Amino acid sequence: MSGLRWGILATGGIARTFTHDLHVAGREIVAVGSRSDVSARAFAEEFGIPHAHGSYEALLADPDVDIVYVATPHPSHAENALAVIAAGKHVLVEKPFTLNAAEAAAVRDAAAARGVLVLEAMWTRYLPHMVRIRELMAEGAIGEVRAVFADHTQQISDDPGHRLNALELGGGALLDLGIYPVSFAWDILGHPETIVASARKSETGADTEIATIFTHASGAISTTITSSRAAGPNTAHIVGTEGRIDVDRTWYNATSFRLTGPDGTLREHYVSHVQGRGMQYQALAAERLVAEGNLVGDLLTIDETVDIMATLDEIRGQIGLVYPGEA
């Protein structure tokens, strides 16, 4: 075991997937917290977790917990993360990190003041195929990057009560799905200097389709397309002067990619071999960062997370998407 003992805050589907992958990686899970005793006990029994707490407060008071994974709905992320930080524990917050950049900055600043790690659970950043892509980029394998394309398109639900269509739950394709390709563009090209966005909304006011065009400091352009009502290819592409990288379906999961020269010659075919879904890699990164005494991150720093939330704020401003309780 690593010496870091995990607590799971909330018991929904994403918490189950993450906890399964923690087991795959041999991590130590000591407690789970839910708003319901019944849910906490059922989750603990399912995963062999020794402590089940019927409130989040009880989980955060557990002296055996060193680091907490926050898996609640989007609007609760900031409140829950701040509570974890106040308890003096490290925290991995499911994406989107918060509803907006102001909340993200408040969480970042609280963690810095308390001396704990806070990390966004953008698990794609840590997958082996993305690590290899960054290596190739650093080697100049595709020359100067000119364009990046990525989509995250799923056919989920048109039910107005579904969380993706409910504004009070932070609903909309952008925060739930679009965060992936937006973060990908940031990963490859850095901060966008200009942002243009267009969207289609549902009857509830939540966005169902959204497209963005960014320009970056190098002059490169990135585009993203997101939908919660229609399933697309879910691929990503990085195009350079000396070649391109085509990341296969589903690019934000553990997958394969091909490095191809300008003449069409295949230079590398990478295939991922990952147990589980691959969410364990972000947990391993969090444990490594704590061991190193690095409380700001590296592949995705907390400052970058805040700046990405500001990008999402700008996109939402352009499409007129405001959540209840926001100014």
Burial of 237 (0-12, 13-18, 19+ CB in 10 A): middle
Buried b (16+ CB within 10 A) or exposed e, 189-217: beebeebebebebbebebbbbbbbebebe
**Using an 8 Å Cβ cutoff, are 114 and 106 in contact?**
no
**Using an 8 Å Cβ cutoff, are 32 and 44 in contact?**
yes
What's the rounded Cα separation, in Å, for the pair 119 and 104? 11
Compute the mean pLDDT over every residue in the chain, rounded to the nearest whole number.
97
In 3D space, the residue among 141, 199, 139 whose CA is nearest the CA of residue 175 turns out to be 199
Q: How confident is the model at residue 83 (pLDDT cuts 50, 70, 90)?
A: very high
What's the rounded Cα separation, in Å, for the pair 166 and 157? 11
3-state secondary structure of 230: coil
Q: What number of CA atoms fall less than 13 Å from residue 289's CA on the CB side?
A: 26
What's the rounded Cα separation, in Å, for the pair 255 and 26? 22
% of residues, the chain, pLDDT over 70: 99
Which tokens in the block code for residue 164?
A: 């993706």
On the question of a cis peptide bond just before residue 250, with omega within 30 degrees of 0, the verdict is yes
What's the rounded Cα separation, in Å, for the pair 125 and 300? 7
What is the pLDDT averaged over residues 35-53?
98
Burial of 42 (0-12, 13-18, 19+ CB in 10 A): middle
**What pLDDT, on a 0 to 100 scale, did the predictor assign at position 173?**
97
Q: Residues 86-117: pLDDT tens digits? A: 999 999 999 999 999 999 999 999 999 999 99
Q: 256-260 and 243-247: which strand pairing?
A: antiparallel
What's the rounded Cα separation, in Å, for the pair 302 and 116? 12
pLDDT at 3 over 80: no
**Strand extents, DSSP E, 230-296:** 236-240, 243-247, 256-260, 266-271
What is the pLDDT averaged over residues 69-85?
97
What's the rounded Cα separation, in Å, for the pair 58 and 52? 9
**What pLDDT, on a 0 to 100 scale, did the predictor assign at position 318?**
98
- How many helices and strands, by DSSP H and E, does the chain display? 10, 14
Q: Residues 150-186: pLDDT tens digits? A: 999 999 999 999 999 999 999 999 999 999 999 999 9
% of residues, the chain, pLDDT over 90: 98
Residue corresponding to tokens 């002059």:
219
**Using an 8 Å Cβ cutoff, are 51 and 32 in contact?**
yes
Sign of CA dihedral 223, 229, 230, 234: positive
**What pLDDT, on a 0 to 100 scale, did the predictor assign at position 1?**
43
What is the total residue count of the chain? 327
What is the pLDDT averaged over residues 208-216?
98
